[in-house]
Protein backbone atom coordinates (compact mmCIF):
# COMPACT_ATOMS: atom_id res chain seq x y z
CA UNK A 1 0.00 0.00 0.00
CA UNK A 2 0.94 3.66 -0.31
CA UNK A 3 3.42 4.16 2.52
CA UNK A 4 3.68 7.90 1.89
CA UNK A 5 -0.07 8.35 2.32
CA UNK A 6 -0.08 6.22 5.47
CA UNK A 7 2.77 8.21 7.00
CA UNK A 8 1.15 11.55 6.20
CA UNK A 9 -2.17 10.48 7.67
CA UNK A 10 -0.30 9.29 10.77
CA UNK A 11 0.95 12.86 11.27
CA UNK A 12 4.54 12.53 10.06
CA UNK A 13 6.40 15.44 8.47
CA UNK A 14 7.74 14.39 5.06
CA UNK A 15 10.34 16.30 3.04
CA UNK A 16 10.88 15.84 -0.68
CA UNK A 17 12.87 17.11 -3.66
CA UNK A 18 11.85 17.98 -7.21
CA UNK A 19 12.99 16.15 -10.35
CA UNK A 20 12.72 18.53 -13.32
CA UNK A 21 15.11 17.13 -15.92
CA UNK A 22 13.30 13.94 -16.88
CA UNK A 23 16.28 11.89 -15.75
CA UNK A 24 15.85 8.60 -13.92
CA UNK A 25 19.54 8.75 -13.03
CA UNK A 26 19.20 12.18 -11.39
CA UNK A 27 16.22 10.98 -9.38
CA UNK A 28 18.06 7.83 -8.34
CA UNK A 29 21.10 9.84 -7.22
CA UNK A 30 18.91 12.05 -5.03
CA UNK A 31 17.16 9.06 -3.42
CA UNK A 32 20.51 7.52 -2.50
CA UNK A 33 21.77 10.82 -1.09
CA UNK A 34 19.20 12.02 1.40
CA UNK A 35 15.98 12.61 -0.58
CA UNK A 36 13.91 9.41 -0.56
CA UNK A 37 10.73 11.16 -1.71
CA UNK A 38 10.99 12.64 -5.21
CA UNK A 39 8.33 14.79 -6.88
CA UNK A 40 8.57 14.33 -10.63
CA UNK A 41 7.45 17.62 -12.18
CA UNK A 42 5.17 16.81 -15.08
CA UNK A 43 3.86 20.38 -15.23
CA UNK A 44 7.10 22.31 -15.75
CA UNK A 45 9.70 19.56 -16.09
CA UNK A 46 10.92 17.48 -19.03
CA UNK A 47 9.32 14.28 -20.27
CA UNK A 48 6.09 12.47 -20.98
CA UNK A 49 4.15 9.78 -19.15
CA UNK A 50 6.51 6.95 -20.03
CA UNK A 51 9.49 9.09 -18.99
CA UNK A 52 7.83 9.59 -15.60
CA UNK A 53 7.02 5.90 -15.24
CA UNK A 54 10.66 5.07 -15.90
CA UNK A 55 11.72 7.61 -13.31
CA UNK A 56 9.29 6.20 -10.76
CA UNK A 57 10.72 2.71 -11.33
CA UNK A 58 14.23 4.03 -10.62
CA UNK A 59 13.05 5.88 -7.52
CA UNK A 60 11.25 2.84 -6.15
CA UNK A 61 14.14 0.49 -6.97
CA UNK A 62 16.43 2.77 -4.94
CA UNK A 63 14.04 2.49 -1.98
CA UNK A 64 12.24 5.80 -2.47
CA UNK A 65 8.73 6.98 -3.23
CA UNK A 66 7.69 8.82 -6.39
CA UNK A 67 5.10 11.58 -6.52
CA UNK A 68 4.05 13.05 -9.88
CA UNK A 69 2.87 16.60 -10.38
CA UNK A 70 0.62 15.97 -13.34
CA UNK A 71 0.56 18.40 -16.30
CA UNK A 72 -3.17 19.06 -16.05
CA UNK A 73 -6.35 17.92 -14.35
CA UNK A 74 -8.05 16.26 -17.33
CA UNK A 75 -9.69 12.97 -16.24
CA UNK A 76 -8.24 11.05 -19.20
CA UNK A 77 -4.74 12.12 -18.13
CA UNK A 78 -5.34 11.18 -14.48
CA UNK A 79 -6.74 7.80 -15.57
CA UNK A 80 -3.64 6.94 -17.61
CA UNK A 81 -1.26 8.09 -14.86
CA UNK A 82 -2.98 6.00 -12.19
CA UNK A 83 -3.25 3.00 -14.50
CA UNK A 84 0.51 3.16 -15.07
CA UNK A 85 1.10 2.65 -11.37
CA UNK A 86 1.86 6.16 -10.11
CA UNK A 87 0.02 6.29 -6.80
CA UNK A 88 0.74 9.78 -5.47
CA UNK A 89 -0.16 12.84 -7.54
CA UNK A 90 -0.25 16.62 -7.26
CA UNK A 91 -2.77 18.36 -9.53
CA UNK A 92 -2.01 22.00 -10.40
CA UNK A 93 -4.34 25.01 -10.63
CA UNK A 94 -7.45 23.80 -8.83
CA UNK A 95 -9.56 26.87 -8.08
CA UNK A 96 -13.08 25.61 -7.34
CA UNK A 97 -14.76 22.76 -5.46
CA UNK A 98 -16.33 21.67 -8.74
CA UNK A 99 -12.86 21.18 -10.26
CA UNK A 100 -11.72 19.32 -7.14
CA UNK A 101 -14.75 17.02 -7.32
CA UNK A 102 -14.01 16.11 -10.94
CA UNK A 103 -10.45 15.21 -9.93
CA UNK A 104 -11.57 13.15 -6.94
CA UNK A 105 -14.11 11.27 -9.08
CA UNK A 106 -11.52 10.55 -11.80
CA UNK A 107 -9.22 8.97 -9.23
CA UNK A 108 -11.77 6.57 -7.68
CA UNK A 109 -13.61 3.58 -9.06
CA UNK A 110 -17.43 3.38 -8.90
CA UNK A 111 -19.46 3.84 -6.82
CA UNK A 112 -17.16 6.46 -5.26
CA UNK A 113 -16.14 7.98 -8.58
CA UNK A 114 -15.90 7.25 -12.28
CA UNK A 115 -12.34 6.04 -12.87
CA UNK A 116 -12.27 3.81 -15.93
CA UNK A 117 -11.82 0.10 -15.22
CA UNK A 118 -9.05 -2.08 -16.65
CA UNK A 119 -7.53 -3.27 -13.37
CA UNK A 120 -6.39 -6.81 -14.37
CA UNK A 121 -4.02 -5.54 -17.10
CA UNK A 122 -2.53 -2.54 -15.32
CA UNK A 123 0.81 -1.81 -13.72
CA UNK A 124 -1.27 -0.32 -10.88
CA UNK A 125 -2.50 -3.81 -9.95
CA UNK A 126 0.94 -5.35 -10.51
CA UNK A 127 -0.61 -6.90 -13.61
CA UNK A 128 -3.21 -8.91 -11.64
CA UNK A 129 -0.83 -9.85 -8.81
CA UNK A 130 -3.05 -7.63 -6.62
CA UNK A 131 -6.46 -9.20 -7.35
CA UNK A 132 -8.27 -6.97 -4.84
CA UNK A 133 -6.82 -3.74 -6.26
CA UNK A 134 -9.98 -2.24 -7.77
CA UNK A 135 -12.53 -3.37 -5.18
CA UNK A 136 -10.57 -3.02 -1.94
CA UNK A 137 -7.18 -1.33 -2.34
CA UNK A 138 -7.20 1.45 -4.91
CA UNK A 139 -9.10 4.05 -2.90
CA UNK A 140 -6.66 3.82 -0.01
CA UNK A 141 -3.65 3.40 -2.29
CA UNK A 142 -4.03 6.64 -4.26
CA UNK A 143 -2.83 9.93 -2.71
CA UNK A 144 -4.36 13.05 -4.29
CA UNK A 145 -3.06 16.54 -3.59
CA UNK A 146 -4.50 19.59 -5.33
CA UNK A 147 -2.72 22.90 -5.66
CA UNK A 148 -4.05 26.17 -4.28
CA UNK A 149 -2.16 28.72 -6.34
CA UNK A 150 -4.67 31.46 -7.22
CA UNK A 151 -6.63 33.98 -5.20
CA UNK A 152 -9.85 32.29 -6.43
CA UNK A 153 -8.71 29.03 -4.80
CA UNK A 154 -8.18 30.84 -1.51
CA UNK A 155 -11.73 32.21 -1.68
CA UNK A 156 -12.96 28.63 -2.15
CA UNK A 157 -10.47 26.88 0.12
CA UNK A 158 -12.95 25.61 2.71
CA UNK A 159 -15.16 24.05 0.03
CA UNK A 160 -12.19 22.52 -1.82
CA UNK A 161 -10.81 21.09 1.43
CA UNK A 162 -14.19 19.50 2.15
CA UNK A 163 -14.19 17.31 -0.98
CA UNK A 164 -13.97 13.61 -0.14
CA UNK A 165 -11.15 12.02 -2.10
CA UNK A 166 -8.87 15.05 -1.93
CA UNK A 167 -6.21 14.12 0.62
CA UNK A 168 -4.12 17.29 0.81
CA UNK A 169 -3.99 20.91 -0.33
CA UNK A 170 -0.66 21.93 -1.83
CA UNK A 171 -0.17 25.69 -1.50
CA UNK A 172 1.86 27.16 -4.36
CA UNK A 173 3.15 30.50 -3.06
CA UNK A 174 4.78 31.69 -6.29
CA UNK A 175 1.69 31.51 -8.47
CA UNK A 176 -0.48 32.60 -5.55
CA UNK A 177 1.59 35.78 -5.28
CA UNK A 178 1.42 36.23 -9.05
CA UNK A 179 -2.37 36.06 -8.98
CA UNK A 180 -2.41 39.29 -6.95
CA UNK A 181 0.35 40.97 -8.99
CA UNK A 182 3.17 40.14 -6.55
CA UNK A 183 5.13 37.68 -8.70
CA UNK A 184 8.56 36.96 -7.15
CA UNK A 185 7.60 39.10 -4.15
CA UNK A 186 6.37 36.28 -1.95
CA UNK A 187 7.31 37.82 1.38
CA UNK A 188 5.25 40.99 0.95
CA UNK A 189 2.14 41.52 3.05
CA UNK A 190 -0.59 40.68 0.52
CA UNK A 191 0.70 37.26 -0.65
CA UNK A 192 1.65 36.35 2.92
CA UNK A 193 -1.90 37.14 4.04
CA UNK A 194 -3.30 34.95 1.24
CA UNK A 195 -1.03 32.07 2.21
CA UNK A 196 -2.14 32.38 5.83
CA UNK A 197 -5.83 32.37 4.84
CA UNK A 198 -5.29 29.23 2.78
CA UNK A 199 -3.46 27.53 5.64
CA UNK A 200 -6.16 28.38 8.16
CA UNK A 201 -8.94 27.23 5.84
CA UNK A 202 -7.27 23.85 5.26
CA UNK A 203 -6.40 23.23 8.89
CA UNK A 204 -9.93 24.15 9.98
CA UNK A 205 -11.21 21.32 7.76
CA UNK A 206 -8.59 18.88 9.03
CA UNK A 207 -6.99 18.62 5.60
CA UNK A 208 -3.30 17.80 5.13
CA UNK A 209 -1.16 20.80 4.18
CA UNK A 210 1.65 20.70 1.61
CA UNK A 211 3.86 23.35 0.00
CA UNK A 212 7.37 24.22 -1.16
CA UNK A 213 10.24 25.22 1.10
CA UNK A 214 10.87 28.96 1.24
CA UNK A 215 8.56 31.94 0.79
CA UNK A 216 10.11 33.42 3.92
CA UNK A 217 9.64 30.29 6.07
CA UNK A 218 12.18 27.63 7.05
CA UNK A 219 11.56 23.88 7.14
CA UNK A 220 11.06 24.17 10.89
CA UNK A 221 8.64 27.09 10.47
CA UNK A 222 6.50 25.12 8.04
CA UNK A 223 6.43 22.08 10.30
CA UNK A 224 5.38 24.26 13.23
CA UNK A 225 2.55 25.84 11.20
CA UNK A 226 1.15 22.38 10.51
CA UNK A 227 2.48 21.40 7.09
CA UNK A 228 3.05 17.68 6.61
CA UNK A 229 4.57 17.56 3.10
CA UNK A 230 7.19 20.07 1.93
CA UNK A 231 9.20 19.97 -1.29
CA UNK A 232 12.62 21.63 -1.30
CA UNK A 233 15.47 21.58 -3.84
CA UNK A 234 15.31 20.47 -7.46
CA UNK A 235 17.83 18.70 -9.64
CA UNK A 236 18.35 21.74 -11.91
CA UNK A 237 19.23 24.03 -9.01
CA UNK A 238 21.44 21.42 -7.39
CA UNK A 239 23.37 21.14 -10.66
CA UNK A 240 23.57 24.93 -11.06
CA UNK A 241 24.76 25.48 -7.51
CA UNK A 242 27.23 22.60 -7.67
CA UNK A 243 28.68 23.83 -10.97
CA UNK A 244 29.06 27.39 -9.70
CA UNK A 245 30.65 26.24 -6.45
CA UNK A 246 33.11 23.99 -8.30
CA UNK A 247 34.00 26.84 -10.69
CA UNK A 248 34.57 29.23 -7.77
CA UNK A 249 36.79 26.67 -6.01
CA UNK A 250 38.77 26.18 -9.24
CA UNK A 251 39.30 29.91 -9.68
CA UNK A 252 40.25 30.41 -6.06
CA UNK A 253 42.79 27.60 -6.29
CA UNK A 254 44.31 29.03 -9.49
CA UNK A 255 44.28 32.57 -8.19
CA UNK A 256 42.17 33.82 -11.07
CA UNK A 257 39.06 35.96 -11.07
CA UNK A 258 35.85 34.07 -11.71
CA UNK A 259 34.70 34.45 -15.31
CA UNK A 260 31.31 36.12 -15.77
CA UNK A 261 28.42 33.85 -16.55
CA UNK A 262 27.89 33.51 -20.28
CA UNK A 263 24.67 34.62 -21.87
CA UNK A 264 22.51 31.88 -23.42
CA UNK A 265 23.98 30.80 -26.73
CA UNK A 266 27.26 32.65 -26.20
CA UNK A 267 30.43 30.88 -27.23
CA UNK A 268 33.56 30.46 -25.14
CA UNK A 269 35.57 30.80 -28.35
CA UNK A 270 36.92 27.25 -28.55
Q: Which of 185, 187, 174, 177 is nearest to 221 (CA)?
A: 187
Q: Please identify which of the residues 44, 65, 139, 182 carries the catalytic annotation.
A: 44
Concerning whether 44 is annotated as a catalytic residue, the answer is yes
User: Could you give the residue numbers annotated as active site?
Assistant: 44
Amino acid sequence: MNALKQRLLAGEFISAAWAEMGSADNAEVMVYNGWPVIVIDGEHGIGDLETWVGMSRAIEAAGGHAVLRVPNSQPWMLNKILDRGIRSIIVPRVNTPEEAQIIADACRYPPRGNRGYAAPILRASNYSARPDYALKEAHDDVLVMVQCEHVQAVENIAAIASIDGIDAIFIGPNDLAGSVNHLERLTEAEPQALIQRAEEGCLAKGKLLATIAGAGRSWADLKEIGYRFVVGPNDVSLLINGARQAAAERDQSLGTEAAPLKKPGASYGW
